Amino acid sequence: MNRIIDKDKSIVPACDMTNLRELEFLVQETYNIEGISGYKVGKLLAYWNSLPEVVKVIRNYTKNRAGSKKKIC
């Protein structure tokens, strides 16, 4: 069975803010912590900023990083 997250146990921070700067700060401070495997995007964050912009902020830190397999949920 294919799994979205490769680990049995991991941390998925909830991005329940409305501001992209707060999101960027959270991701910047957590993307390289072992055990974090993704980010849960809150509906207000996606609504107020557009989902493509939210994904762009997260991927600025997580895409193409050595060993990074973080997911955006």
> Is 3 within a domain?
no
Domain that holds residue 62: 14-67
> Is 31 within a domain?
yes
pLDDT for the residue numbered 51: 95
> Is 47 within a domain?
yes
The answer, yes or no, to whether residue 29 has pLDDT greater than 80, is: yes
> Is 30 within a domain?
yes
| pTM of the predicted model as reported, rounded to 2 decimal places | 0.80
Q: What is the mean pLDDT of residues 22-29?
A: 97
> Is 18 within a domain?
yes
Q: What is the 3-state secondary structure (H, E, C) of the chain?
A: CCCCCCCCCCECCEECCCCHHHHHHHHHHHCCCCCECEEEECHHHHHHHCHHHHHHHHHHHHCCCCCCCCEEC
> Is 58 within a domain?
yes
Count: domains in the chain: 1
> Is 72 within a domain?
no
The pLDDT tens digits for 38-71 are 999 999 999 999 999 999 999 999 986 545 556 6
